[in-house]
Amino acid sequence: MSLRKFLIMMSIVTTLCWIGWITVLFFIDPDQTEFIGIFLFYLSLFFALIGTFSLLGFFFRVWFSRKEIVFQHVGISFRQALLFSLLLVGSLALQGLRILTWWNAALFIVSISILEFFFLSRKDSDS
């Protein structure tokens, strides 16, 4: 798959995820629904954020580092978008359960950071 086709497909899927999240937001009452409504809210937001952050991260990487191979940015952008989306949606879910405190948030941030550092160090050792 070419980079152009990938970016077009990713843009379309991200748009559909945002439409899905808006649909869940407006048509599902959180007081009336069971677990599935809340789960769909967080899941659709998670995928929409992954797509958005992945595309934004890719374009910023290409814009700021013109000398590298463009295809290398796709995987890094997707991984970081996944981790950042996990951090945001996880924090939102913890707040929804009323168990988000400053030490939980700090532990969550440190855990995600350690995971990213693991991937960065693994990449350096493969080179």
pLDDT in tens, 70-123: 888 899 999 999 999 999 999 999 999 999 999 999 999 999 999 999 998 886
| Contact between 89 and 42 (Cβ < 8 Å) | yes
pLDDT in tens, 20-76: 999 999 999 988 988 899 999 999 999 999 999 999 999 998 888 876 778 888 999
The string of DSSP codes covering 1-24 is --HHHHHHHHHHHHHHHHHHHHHH
Whether this model's pTM surpasses 0.95: no
Report the C-alpha gap between 34 and 51 in whole angstroms: 27
